[in-house]
Structure 1
């Protein structure tokens, strides 16, 4: 962490009135972003970044600290234990990814089942797919129709006209037919109009539900699952 602080900083930008993007600059590791959700009942960090410096800790503490850290899947564990120790909060990870944390500290809370409710109607939804325990976060009050923070459990295309769910994104390997069917069933009842992905410029605002449905229909056609 001390070596990171010598060459890197954390850039904090506002994405909307209750959501902030935290990103290491210059790009480091996967170059993903963490998302800070600000609510009246407490703040939540969605996914994690490697660097936690005094400026970032000061910004979060000025907003009331962190009530929880929620991780979408193992690629974004990074220094989550240092973040949890700094803010004295739990880390929520689905139990199907139990084998992946290298340092399973007492801050980690493994949860089971399809959904886990937090506060203010916020819920973690277990989708599977990219990893067995892959999840998304549903935040109902962040936009008119509700927002989803998806990490890359759902991947927002550069055109922002398609949402992908795959086993391996770098290698362009699709989920198996059965795995996709499970993913589809677990997400079929979601309602939202906005999506925030794991990387810069991965926002779809207003029509995200229609894009999601069209994308899933394409997968159903590919797998011969139409009507199922």
Structure 2
């Protein structure tokens, strides 16, 4: 599948702090003004895809698991978003979205079979999703509850609602309603099963635990009732692996057990009246 040229929104503003692309100039970034993100001390700053390309950013591709390829840049942009290309029997699915795309990057993905559809976990990964959609003539699946965070409306955006949305026979989007009301995780039933979570479920550095937060940047925990409800919903699915938001943050075995013990630990600490001493 050949990719189209990737210049349709090259001059549109991108927030340097979170990577969100907007349809036109504006004084602020609503995503960063929200309490889950932040406006840097130096104030609001903007860039464009054209400027990022001129700065010499280059694509990074790295295997992250069986039939799962990480896509991002060698130099971190914004919060360091990277995407995952799921090479399924029904076509390639792009999970989450990096804040960068150029012709060579698009051509490399096209050589891998292109992209059938794009699905995104939450607004911190919306970034330049419309650029990716246009390059591959692919729909972008977003939950209706987070529609207000879209910075660049486009016909390619497809909004779903409710608790689940089946993309293919093997792929199901699930709305656990943590981190954002419209947050999504993607379940892939192939093999032993896998859960793609962004940082809706954040895989910890040692990859033996996951955690959840309302705001990672500002250290605001998620409400225990929301965490318990999300765990019950996700526990209906079987998965060995959990793919987090960052490079190499992957739980490689016993994903259901990792989720259960991680949620138990979280709820124990959030619900405790006294904490053990160090």
Query: For this structure pair, what is the TM-score category when the shorter chain's length is used for normalisation?
Result: over 0.9
1:4 is aligned to 2:49: no
Give matches, 1:181-220, under 5 Å. Answer: 181-220=228-267
Q: Contact conserved, 1:9 with 1:51, CA < 8 A, in 2?
A: no
Task: Within 5 Å, give how 1:1-228 maps onto structure 2.
Answer: 1-6=49-54, 7-141=56-190, 144-222=191-269
Q: Contact 2:231 / 2:259 at 8 angstroms: preserved in 1?
A: no
Partner residue, 2:23: none
Provide structure 2 residue ranges, at least 5 long, that are not aligned to the other structure.
1-48, 273-278
Instruction: State the SS of the aligned residue for 1:99.
Output: helix
- Cα distance, 1:31–1:41 mapped onto 2, change above 3 Å: same
TM score, norm. by length of structure 2: 0.76
* Unmatched tracts of structure 1, length 5 or more: none
CA distance in 2, matches of 1:133, 1:120: 22
Per the TM alignment, residue 168 of structure 1 is displaced from its structure 2 partner at its CA by 0.8
TM-score (norm 1): 0.92
Larger strand share, 1 or 2: 1
Whole-Å separation in 2 of the counterparts to 1:159 and 1:166: 18
Runs of 4+ in structure 1 off by over 6 angstroms are: none
Q: Rg: which structure is higher?
A: 2
| Residues 74-83 or 116-125, more deviating | 116-125
Match of 2:7 in 1: none
CA distance in 2, matches of 1:201, 1:17: 13
How well do the aligned residues superpose, as a CA RMSD in angstroms? Answer: 1.6
Moved more, 56-65 or 121-130: 56-65
Higher relative contact order (CA 8 A, sep 6+): 2
Deviations 1:74-102 (A, max 9, x none): 00011100110111111000111011101
Q: How far off its partner does 1:45 sit?
A: 0.4
Deviation at 1:175, TM superposition (A): 1.1
Q: Which moved more, 1:82-91 or 1:13-22?
A: 13-22
Hey, what's the Cα distance between the residues in 1 that align with 2:225 and 2:264? 15
